Structure 1
Amino acid sequence: MHPAQTLSTLLWRERELLDRLTYRLETEQLLISSGHTRWIGFATEEVAAAVAAVRDAALETQASASALAGLWGLPDDAGLPALVGAAPEDGPWREVLTGHLEALTAQASEVELLRDANAKLLRAATRDVQETLAQAAPQQGPTGAGYDAAGHAARPASPHFLDQRS
């Protein structure tokens, strides 16, 4: 198989994985937004697994791009934009690689927006939980000590100082 064909196949795989990551981020966002927090942990684990899969695919893609770069007279670390520029004008590869570059750029932007929105929603949800817990905390008794686990008024943690000057 021609190195350009191998690269194109790997780029398709990376695009599919980015679609799955987008799906998982949207699922996570829906769970957070709806208040169904029971499954957020699972959703976050799935997002992390999807990110790892994209990272692994990107490494494989980079290795393939490096092989193609050598064939087209570019440095080994040439990225996709450089490969597009170096692709022969008389074949299909310039158009094929341009299509991959445009799609990957759009997908990466979408993933970044979703990631940032989810992080913002998670921070807001964490704040809401903390405020709710603070409001639900046991009320302090007249001594300010609160209550122990059995429901009895607890002694204050700090000693009281009495004015003994009289």
Structure 2
Amino acid sequence: MSLSDLAAVLWRQRELLERLTYRLECEQLLLAGGRTRWLASATAEVEALLDELQVTEIHRAATNQVVTRELGLPPEATLEDVAAAASPPWTDVLLDHRNALLSSSAELAMMAEASRSMTAAGLAAVETTLSSLGGRVGTTSQGYDARGRVDIIAGEGRAFVDRAL
């Protein structure tokens, strides 16, 4: 393996992060628009991308370990360390990858926080609506279990499904 192999894996990682950013933005638009019909599909696509990223990260770590050995660096050397030890033009290529990955990570962190906020707001709206209908509120674990039992659920209030029907 060589620096070109590492650069190829880093390109793949960048492409996947870009697709993840797109998918998360689509998911946010669905949440913001109240379009929950496609939310499960969007979430499944995000999870599939995360699985693919996990495999790519393992490949990147293995490739990086071989490259660090070739360059005489310790196995835990960072991409910045590898770039510093590499000769031009690889120094610039690897530093560009590093900067792009850092930028993508920061953008994804902001998107994840926004998604958490939107999801929490949606949950609060649902709980408020259920409360106004006289339903149980207080925790997200309230509801029926797989057998339709409510006796394991703490709290008072009307149940929304009458099993006597």
Q: TM class, shorter-chain normalised? A: 0.7 to 0.9
Alignment-derived partner of residue 71 in structure 2: 72
The residue correspondences of 1:12-161 to structure 2 (distance < 5 A) are 12-88=11-87, 91-137=88-134, 149=162
Shift of 1:104: 0.6
Deviations 1:18-58 (A, max 9, x none): 01110111011000011112222221222122112112111
Deviations 1:88-126 (A, max 9, x none): 2xx210011011011111011111110111011001101
Letter paired with 2:115: N
**For the pair shown, which has the larger CA radius of gyration, 1 or 2?**
1
Q: Structure 1 stretch 20-29 or stretch 128-137: which is displaced more?
A: 128-137
Distance 1:103 1:146 in 2: 53
Shift of 1:146: 6.6
Distance 2:4 2:162 in 1: 68
Segments of 4+ moved more than 2 angstroms = 145-150
Letter paired with 1:81: E
Letter paired with 1:92: P
Assess, with a 3 A threshold, how the Cα gap between structure 1 residues 96 and 123 changes in structure 2: closer, same or farther. same
Assess, with a 3 A threshold, how the Cα gap between structure 1 residues 52 and 117 changes in structure 2: closer, same or farther. same
Letter paired with 1:98: L
What's the TM-score, normalizing by structure 2?
Answer: 0.79
| Conserved? CA contact 2:134–2:158, under 8 Å | no
Deviations 1:116-150 (A, max 9, x none): 11011001101101111221237xxxxxx979949
Shift of 1:77: 2.2
What's the TM-score, normalizing by structure 1?
Answer: 0.79
Note the aligned Cα RMSD (angstroms).
Answer: 2.2
